[in-house]
Structure 1
């Protein structure tokens, strides 16, 4: 390589070519006349030519570029066109002269000119977020291109190219003179030195072949899939085609992905896996990958700074510079050793099982006396929210030490105490160390041959391949002391008889001061670098690894498949508090869908009430006990006057089923009028009156003949809209009643607010007119309040109050038991007594003492914590914020509902109201990444179902909107 030629190329500005000159070249050499628009580029000029209904790319570069290089690019494009599984690529188009490359003189300067097909598609760089499927597809595309170029040869591949990663070291150091920011210059220089140190011993074994060398999100075109995701299909811009290391192409692709990674370098691993699956990398290439990614990032930053210095008007460079700085920041945010471990694991590397050989550190401590402290999500020692106490780990550790005198935490445990509420990032909760409480003054010995090093806070015992970091030890040995296994090391800090604290951490990266915790999604790689110190205690201190896939498989093996779970890969939720849920890694999720948990998760008053009643009695309602009378009385007092008789059951489905039976018994009729798009339950009768296609795609074809659905009163997307919609929809019910004149209905059933349709409010005046018509026909009116009632609307306790009506029968469940199986039907004494003609009725657990005690405690909490008022105030705040999103994001079509039963309907077109079904599902999955539980609803599954616990705070509501805004801003 000629370094002089190489560095000269780094200092070339773009050619000075105007739109008029480009148009003249296209016309003169190719016979094309049409519109001309400039495309971005770093060191050449690219123009989009639209002529004759087709589009082309005119490429103009300086004559400094050897003709053989351009000929190689054209030859490679033709080569790819003949390959079966190669990505799409544009073909060169010959000039009128028959040449693929022509010469042009502009303002006394010579240029090479080529014309290529325009490859249709959207560049990935326009989307800030790329889902994992797209990331993997990009890795596979890179592999397919690598395979297709594997047998391509051309003299023009041997070139002096500044971007060739084989020359990254000298190129980056040369370009650093143009970096004005001192810190950035120092950071780039340091990163390159470390990268080259890791790379140098690997270079002799790296394979060389033809490489694209610029397969980035800018140079890939993608097609939009049905779910709105971009899937890469083609490759453009072969300007950096060269013979180089095979793995360099993957490194360049990975580096380009890092500005989409939200700060997480592990984001690229699906691309690495997909590449390796098609184009297997050697172990050496896998170890070289991350040093090459860092090298590419360093060259990008240095090159952009230098190019802006010589070409300050280059908007293409200026637009990319922040991306490139972000790429460098993310690439250098993690130690090489950790990323190497992650890449090896992701590509199926078989790790050796042996562990470092070492002796016990504390020979006088009996291993059997070590009491292990549970700090996990399932720990029984965490009460209410004391996991939020910054000192809780040491408090519980010290408490455990009082039992045997010695207590230790577990290595590899995900500590709930390190959770973070309302955080878009998973918490660093995976313990890479062990803490212990043990007698002060206990003797410590050297566990392996080593050299002692000191820092300001701890000592390090370092061997050739291992470092033991120790905090809490009184050690008088000098820096640099050479020690043998078994030598006296010191004493546990603290007086004899007192409890001392000790922290131990092993690390195989001798240059690293390791963190104490790792993110759950990074934990397996960090665990390869920070090893378990269990051998130092002579007892197994390792937390059992959770096999999430095996647990899910067990669920699917025995739990009937119609009982679905949220999400394709559901987190394992095992704990909750207020509006927050926690998985086994300590990740906190904001629960925005759980209307079952009215008063929130893990409420201590509920736990105490359940324990208290269980300790006394739990049985069925045919026994006589006080709780059943107390609870029935309280429920009747909540209902409108006249509705004074209560049935207690286990669920909302049973409540609706019973309500229909009551209507049949009281009227002696069978027919029931219900609404389209409604959901009422899973029992035979409640399912019969449910017509929600989201819950049952065959609902409309499978209704029994006694069910008569009527037009859904959805004034947003239904047949009738505007201020008169209520009358029009009510008229549809009246028409149905007229058609049933010979067999009038027993009842009309409707949710007071359209719950499963997304919290859609019924149009004004609808229920009053419908109730009057039904009663005139001799039928009863059933208000299904299972989802929308019981204080959730904030402004009203019952949903039917919003319409100013009083039903004959009310069904409730869901939140009245806060998760305890509990439902109720409230009606008149006359209607209730009619059922007795068919025999007696009871529900084993619906009216049990425990169910009643829990039901009353829920009402107490709602009253004492003013949760209905909170639903009104926080709900209004949340609704206003959601409305603001509809003014910013075209996809956000409308906000439905009231209080804390809201729906955000997503549409692709606000005029046609085309449902954004695929996007809604994808957005719910994306929100999970940011710690928000959200699910779609509605017949088109295009409405976000927003119904959190009524204790939702303003802070949590604001966080939800912030994350939703962030997701909607990512481009859909």
Structure 2
């Protein structure tokens, strides 16, 4: 059976069940955008505006956003909006002219990293950054082999789609790519997650070598979001990083989703594991919705590539995007959003753990800060995933005006990653809706 290309995708065959306005939008969309663009939910949401942690549809309904990590400091944050507006009315150009703002932003951004990571190259998207990271890693190591997890997602360029198994079986992996199981303590070796993950990485390195391929990099999203959200025990990544470095490869931390304080414990996901990557990928949350991304690197890893390869990105590092990025860092600091993610995130996990005591479909609650996964199972003894139940909950919550998503290899894990200003009151609203939805779903089982 071919798995769906996207979890919780709207089925166009059900369009006849929608109201006339939605059907008309779908017809227009299909005509000009074609079939590649997918929509969420059994009944799509027509959004018209957003503010803070809420989004509003065309009928004026207010949705609590428990899913979108792009507006990291909240939708349409006034400080970010003002910074963008002021800069776009002043100057917008590229990095081949001197400009102070890019330097001010780069300095503030780099100050959040360990001292060994002191260079940054700006791009527009996480996909571009992943592509650039692969080029730098291969240039530095002389290898071509890449190791990723089995349901990883790192972007959509030609090169990066080859290391993104979550794109589906019709997007082939590169011959130089090897996949390893996610560090799943529920279905794997819970006694020593780190040792087991490192063993799988070593096996991938050995297989590459047997095929005459030298390893270039291990690349992981440090919260393993597409694999189903795996955060603990903190530190489990370190043995695998040691393994890949002993083989002559580098470690690339994909921080697009766990970065910028989202895990609560640290500014960057890799810091929870006590490791310093060679390269760090950043993206979506950097500009709170404005396209800006970047690659942070150890100077010794980047130097040879920078000297030999002609690299330029017209929009990467433009003043307007840098203004947005700087404003995001300022809001994170002023409003203490990392600490908020830690305290409210812990409160949410405690609430979900209480629900797990009452509903056996919850196999495990895991995560850190404002990145939480709720693993839904058919049986707590076998841990068999229950993707159908997950989709019922996602759409049941949407009917209660809660926006959420799902991830994992079977689409069986509720993915919880709200904007960072999410409050305790917002968490209570969410937990009550989850309880109500679970009660209804359980009654209809």
In 2, are the aligned partners of 1:788 and 1:799 still within 8 Å (CA)?
yes
- Counterpart secondary structure, 1:959: helix
Is the aligned partner of 1:668 residue 2:107? Answer: no
- Taking the aligned partners of 2:207 and 2:387, their CA distance within structure 1 comes to 36
Q: Deviations over 1:125-155 (max 9, x none)?
A: xxxxxxxxxxxxxxxxxxxxxxxxxxxxxxx
Quote how far apart the aligned CAs of 1:856 are. 0.1
Shift of 1:837: 4.8
**Partner of 1:768 in structure 2?**
238
User: Retained in 1: the 8 A contact 2:229–2:367?
Assistant: yes
Say if 2:372 and 2:415, in contact at 8 Å, map to a contact too: yes
For 1:857 and 1:931, the matched residues in 2 are separated by 30
Query: Could you list the per-position Cα deviations for residues 560-616 of structure 1 after superposition, in whole angstroms to 9, with x for gaps in the alignment?
Result: 322212123212111111100001111000001000010001211111111100100
CA distance in 2 between counterparts of 1:622 and 1:798 reads 30
Write the distance in 1 (CA, Å) between the matches of 2:189 and 2:354: 22
Q: Which whole-Å deviations, capped at 9, do the CAs of 1:694-720 have from their partners, x for residues lacking one?
A: x42445xx2111112123221222xx2
TM-score in terms of structure 2 length: 0.91
Deviates more, 1:626-635 or 1:546-555: 546-555
The separation in 1 between residues aligned to 2:202 and 2:265, in whole angstroms, is 30
1:125-136 to 2 correspondence within 5 Å?
none
Q: Which structure has the greater CA radius of gyration?
A: 1
Which residue does the alignment assign to 1:940? 410
Equivalent residues of 1:580, 1:591 under 8 A apart = yes
Instruction: State the match for 2:6 in structure 1.
Output: none
How big is the shift at 1:764? Answer: 5.4
Residues 938, 920 of structure 1: alpha-carbon distance in 2 compared, 3 angstrom cutoff: same
Tell me the residue number matched to 1:146.
none
1:820-846 deviation line (CA, Å, top 9, x unaligned): 101110002222222235532222223
SS at 1:547 equivalent: helix
Map residues 177-216 of structure 1 onto 2, 5 A cutoff: none
1:555 maps to: 29
Are positions 1:696 and 2:164 aligned together?
no
Taking the aligned partners of 1:937 and 1:739, their CA distance within structure 2 comes to: 28
Q: Distance in 2 between matches of 1:841 and 1:632?
A: 18
**Aligned pair in 2 of structure 1 residues 787, 644: CA closer, same or farther (>3 Å)?**
same
Q: Of 198, 201, 219, which residue of structure 2 is paired with 1:749?
A: 219
1:758: how far off?
2.8
Q: Which residue of 1 aligns with 2:303?
A: 833
Determine the structure 2 residue equivalent to 1:500.
none
Q: Tell me the residue number matched to 1:792.
A: 262
Q: 1:685 Cα deviation (Å)?
A: 2.2
Judge conservation of contact 1:894–1:906 (CA < 8 Å) in 2: yes
3-state SS of 1:844 partner: coil
Contact 1:821 1:845 in 2 (8 A): no
1:731 equivalent in alignment to 2:205: no
Name the residue aligned to 1:899: 369
Residue of structure 2 equivalent to 1:884: 354
In structure 1, the residue matched to 2:327 is 857
1:897 and 1:774 map into 2 onto residues whose CA distance is 25
CA distance in 2, matches of 1:762, 1:647: 30
Instruction: Check conservation: 2:361, 2:376, Cα contact below 8 A.
Output: yes
Q: CA RMSD in A?
A: 1.9
Aligned partners of 2:390 and 2:413 also within 8 Å: yes
Q: Structure 1: how far apart are the matches of 2:79 and 2:408? A: 35
Q: Counterpart of 1:963?
A: 433
Hey, what's the Cα distance between the residues in 2 that align with 1:822 and 1:935?
24
Of the candidates 564, 581, 597, which is equivalent to residue 55 of structure 2?
A: 581
Structure 1: 5+ residue stretches without partners = 1-272, 275-345, 347-520, 522-545
Which structure carries more relative contact order (alpha carbon 8 Å, separation 6+)? 2
Match of 2:337 among 857, 867, 878: 867
Query: Which residue, 60, 65, 69 being the options, matches 1:591?
Result: 65
- Please give the residue correspondences for 1:165-314 in structure 2 after superposition, counting only pairs within 5 Å: none
Q: SS at the partner of 1:746?
A: strand
Q: 1:151-550, aligned counterparts within 5 Å? A: 547-550=21-24
Q: Distance in 2 between matches of 1:697 and 1:946?
A: 26
Tell me the CA shift for residue 802 of structure 1. 1.2
Is the 2:235–2:272 contact (alpha carbons within 8 Å) kept by the matching residues of 1?
no
Q: What count of residue pairs does the alignment treat as equivalent?
A: 425
Q: Which runs of 5+ in 2 are unaligned?
A: 1-15
Q: Post-superposition shift, 1:762?
A: 5.2
Contact 2:149 2:227 (8 Å CA) reproduced: no
CA contact (8 A) 1:876 1:899 kept: yes
CA distance in 2, matches of 1:687, 1:762: 27
Hey, what does 2:391 align to over in structure 1? 921
Q: Is the 8 A contact 1:758 1:897 kept in 2?
A: no
Q: Partner of 1:576: helix, strand, or coil?
A: strand
Contact 2:148 2:180 in 1 (8 A): yes
Deviation of the 1:765 alpha carbon: 4.8
- Hey, what's the Cα distance between the residues in 2 that align with 1:657 and 1:952? 32
Q: 2:87 aligns with which of 613, 617, 638?
A: 613
